[in-house]
Homo-oligomer: A and B are copies of this chain.
Amino acid sequence: MSAQVTVAVVGASGYTGLELLRLLARHPHVRLAALTSREYQGRPVGQVFPALAGIVHQEFIPPDPEEVARRARFAFTAVPHRSALEMVPRLLAAGMRVVDLSADFRFRDPGVYEAWYQPHTAPELLEEAVYGLPELHRQRLATARLVGNPGCYPTAVVLGLAPLVRARRVELHTLIADCKSGVSGAGRGASLATSFCEVADSFRAYKVFEHRHTPEMEQELSLLAGEPVRLTFTPHLVPMNRGILATLYATLTSPATEAELYGLYEGFYRDEPFVRMMPPGTLPTTAQVRGTNFCDLALRVHPAGDRVVVVAAIDNLGRGAAAQAVCNFNLMAGFPETTGLDGPPLVP
């Protein structure tokens, strides 16, 4: 099949946009038709990002939704939340299908969004929008007009806990997600907090009990459980470029063996091309998923049989953003899910 779909990347100059370009430039069914950047409009992509010299032969254009819609059928919007609230409805109105990588269309309940973000100016779209985690919402994605691409932390946490939560094997009010992220998760803007000397050779927690990814995790886990789930989430900053490792703690509702829970996970993720269960006795690293859409999982049961620790590893820019967005696009466009996403991890 050599069909080519015209695609736009709106907000193509952040790290997520750059990763989208990396993946889409080699996607066999994609023609990059519009790349927008307010900051770099008029400049060739390969000049702004020398890595893409000779690979992407275009200029950035201004983020004008009508012009974007004239050029392309699908849009990836990789702009900050709030900007997406303005841009996405106009892209849809102009007939496009959209994968939005901001937080603006991830929530079913506008009230939750508004409690953590700001007033929502297009609540009618929330009903229609599909949360872009293929393992949970694959069927609805095929026909979606608008996909809310999951946050990086929620992707790792929800995939890590989903089998246990859906099977009701764990207590639903004492879940803990201790997560560690590479610095690219903070975006490409200059700030003291993410400058090299403030991050390198150091480690820290941030936004304890305050991170906006919390309600997103709770929404998806509650859907799986069929009742409200409460989660304690602590993000940390690791001196590395990419990667999220989520260490997840749960109390089992009744004793279990490791083998039993491995069986549960293997059943849940059977035939999933992008979830890899690590062999018993091993644990994932973020390096081993670098640049990919994989989510690697392992688990351990305490010898007492009452508590489980799950470890999930993803690439925050890959599975946590751009690669998952491309996967959602594949599903929407009817391409095999792995199209353009089969590059192996870059190690070391």
Q: How many residues of A contact B (CB 8 A)?
A: 84
A161 lies within 8 A of chain B by Cβ: no
A124 lies within 8 A of chain B by Cβ: no
Copies of this chain? 4
Contact with B along A165-200 (1 / 0, CB 8 A): 000000000101010101110001111101111111
- Cα–Cα distance between A73 and B294 once the two chains are bound (Å): 33
> A235 to chain B: closest CB distance in Å?
10
A223 lies within 8 A of chain B by Cβ: no
- Cα–Cα distance between A245 and B245 once the two chains are bound (Å): 15
Kindly identify, within residues 45 to 59 of chain A, every residue whose CB is under 8 Å from any CB belonging to chain B: 47, 49-55
Kindly identify, within residues 268 to 325 of chain A, every residue whose CB is under 8 Å from any CB belonging to chain B: 273, 276, 278-279, 282-291, 294, 296, 300, 302-303, 307, 309, 311, 313
Task: Please tell me if the beta carbons of B183 and A197 are within 8 angstroms of each other in the complex.
Answer: yes
Chain A residues close to B by CB (< 8 Å): 15, 18, 21-22, 25-26, 47, 49-55, 174, 176, 178, 180, 182-184, 188-192, 194-206, 208-209, 232, 234, 236, 238-243, 245, 247, 249, 251, 273, 276, 278-279, 282-291, 294, 296, 300, 302-303, 307, 309, 311, 313, 342-348
Please name the 5 residue pairs, one residue from A and one from B, whose CB atoms are nearest each other, closest first: A202-B287, A197-B348, A51-B288, A204-B285, A178-B178
